[in-house]
A and B are shown apart, each in its own frame.
Chain A
């Protein structure tokens, strides 16, 4: 229904959100943004999820966006509300997630006077947003929101912040004019790439004897999984993924080599080390993937395809650098590449797998996080969405879980924000209600954002929380174990709450698991109970995550063995 008659700034925001197809937003009100909440109350089509902490709002918007490919929206008031969004916005920037953050600002006459709850939020977020707006005129509200969504979702996606002073939101009734198109002369994201560059890439691909594909988040954001599959199958080139590339290519496919990087699979790391061509698709040669840049893929020529030209040559020089949208570029490439079997190379990689068996679990009576993730993968058959925190549990989830469908692993990669596991899972479930959503949580990360359990309960958002409770900041403990003389300072939690009682306190089901034998049943039970469930997997022995390439090193320094330690907490 089109609005009739003039509207306030806040109503214009709501109408604009409807125009952009928004159905859910995450936020928490305060004085400066209150006129917007006044309007939201009259727009039930815009489902507002009231969070307990604004970091939860930005991270839920992130999880929603990654799960759906749509723009995630979060709302906060000025000052502390806006600054609480920051970690979630930074994460969306690092991982190229489409997000629009709307913040209230103090009224225009108060700006610059250090008014109550005045924070220069466009200033604070300048380096962690793709773009931002401070809307100083009610006539600019609709164009700013239209541009914000356009910028957030197109090209290399990212977060855009729209800061609106209270008196603009409350401004006198104005006619709502939805611009026909955006006016952004300096913003022209590419689609198809220059044919000469595509041919150059095709030639390198057709000549290669030991090629490897490495995928990044760009494959997912450009929805290029079908093209990737066709390309890999036609050329018979094995596919390695970065952490964020996981789920762009089906786990278990004959060409799938799993994850590379600091905790990647040994055979994947060695394949890159020995390759004569690395086809890098929508990835940015992040240091967690490459370790020492000069020793990464030392024998390989590089084909690099990215939608953001500034990624080409930023960290690693390419022999064919192709700026374009991956889906388009793969469509251009597929007819130009010749079917090839690379039979010796594929056999060699098989033998690498034999010599370095992928992810094994050591013999023990104790319950290990790896047992949980193996069972979880069995139970979900790659059909659930897995959202993780950051740390050991994240790496084991990436190593052990199978993924069959794009965007089914949701994890904070570039920013590595602990606490992501709770709100991002809530956002993912709201975006994909038909999917089972598992939050694979660390006890550390979970406690950073567990306030938003209440949000899940209140809105009956059916997320299953699997806390891999090792009573420690396990990943940092591992670093101390390996590189800081086993000086385990400030990494053991001795006062964790009883997570089962916590579940009860929120009125939801809590299950404790101490034994390997209980894991499968607990997972099954959690999936049968409607609504949120917490499983507290109590892990008493802490392993390090292997394989591991220590920071800044290369495949040659890969560590593969495991030394368990008993942890007392």
Chain B
């Protein structure tokens, strides 16, 4: 997936230590960068987590964000995967107001989106949906007339597609010492 307007997707491999998230967040705040979302969890390597950060801004800004992130001691690698073939997902839980009368209609919509109903109460249902942000937004729009009581979203996680060589996000370089020319260009190596 290519970049969405001025949104850029960065994937960072970080040491799983107390305070890492604070350092990342503090750096963003102090330098005035605008994070659209940040999702973090364990990676396949023991003691390392992977973060997906979605940043708004122009090329120069995202170049600075990338370098500033990389500068943090506990950040091992940062990849800007905005221009790569990627799989992008987000998970949302949506609690929608539903009475017996309209339950069928909601179920139909949910099926159409291949979403799941994970809880049913007398007044409401909880729907779980996974997908790209657009898909979640589309489902939200259709459910809105029924009355949305609550929604939670995880934020974007993204991974480069394996293609023929089984590549991983970390192989998408920001080339700090080689080809980067300080013009905000970040090249894959």
Measured CB to CB, the residues of A under 8 A from B are 122-123, 126-127, 130-131, 134, 151, 184-187, 190, 193-194, 196-197, 304, 308-310, 312-314, 317-318, 320-321, 323-324
- Nearest A residue to B74 via CB reads A186
Contact-residue size bin, chain B (C-beta under 8 Å from the other chain): 20 to 34
Residue numbers in B under 8 Å from A134 (CB-CB): 18-19
Asked whether, in the complex, the Cβ of B182 is within 8 Å of the Cβ of A194, the reply is: no
**Cα distance A123–B176 when bound, in Å?**
28
Could you say which of B74, B178, B183 contacts A194, with CB atoms under 8 Å apart?
B178
A317 CB contact (under 8 Å) in B27, B177, B182: B182
Within the complex, what minimum Cβ distance (angstroms) separates A169 from chain B? 19
Interface residue from B73, B181, B183 paired with A186 (Cβ < 8 Å): B73
Residue contact A186 to B176, C-beta cutoff 8 Å:
no
User: Is the CB–CB distance between B19 and A309 below 8 Å?
Assistant: no
Give 6 closest A-B pairs by Cβ, nearest first: A321-B182, A313-B182, A312-B182, A310-B67, A186-B76, A309-B176
Within 8 A of A (CB), among B61-83: 63-64, 67-68, 70-77
| B30: Cβ under 8 A from any A Cβ | yes
Contacts of A184 in B (CB 8 A): 73
Query: In angstroms, how far is the closest chain B Cβ from the Cβ of A199?
Result: 13
Other-chain contact of A313, B26, B64, B75, B77 (Cβ < 8 Å):
B64
Given A310-B64, A313-B63, are A321 and B72 also a contact pair (CB < 8 Å)?
Answer: no
Q: Are A317 and B183 touching (Cβ within 8 A)? A: yes
Look across to chain A and name the residue whose beta carbon is closest to the beta carbon of B175. A194
User: Does B22 sit at the interface, judged by CB under 8 A?
Assistant: yes
Contact B30 A127 (CB under 8 A): yes
Q: Which residue of A lies closest to B78 (CB)?
A: A186
Q: Which residues of A contact B58 (CB under 8 A)?
A: none
Residues of A within 8 A of B183 (CB): 313, 317-318, 321
B85 at the interface (CB under 8 A from A): no
**Extra A-B contacts (4), CB below 8 Å, given A151-B73, A186-B77:** A131-B73, A186-B76, A308-B71, A321-B183
Interface residues of B in 5-58 (CB under 8 A from A): 14-15, 18-19, 22-23, 26-27, 30
CA distance A186 to B170 in the complex (A): 13
Q: How far is the CA of A511 from the CA of B98 in the complex (A)?
A: 88
Asked if B60 CB lies within 8 Å of chain A CBs, one says yes
For A131, A184, A310, the residue with the greatest tally of chain B CB atoms inside 10 Å of its CB is: A310
B176 CB contacts on chain A under 8 angstroms: 190, 309, 323
29 contacts between A and B (CB under 8 A): A123-B22, A126-B23, A126-B26, A127-B30, A186-B72, A186-B75, A186-B76, A186-B77, A190-B176, A190-B177, A194-B178, A197-B178, A304-B182, A308-B71, A309-B176, A309-B180, A310-B67, A312-B67, A312-B180, A312-B182, A313-B64, A317-B184, A318-B181, A318-B182, A318-B183, A320-B181, A321-B180, A321-B182, A323-B177
Contacts of B15 in A (CB 8 A): 185-186
Pairwise interchain contact A313-B71, C-beta atoms closer than 8 A? no
Q: Are A321 and B71 in contact (CB under 8 A)?
A: no
A321 neighbours in B (Cβ, 8 Å): 180-183
| Minimum CB–CB distance for B150 against chain A, Å | 30
Q: Does B179 contact A (CB under 8 A)?
A: yes
Q: Do A313 and B177 contact each other (CB < 8 Å), given the known contacts A127-B30, A187-B73?
A: no
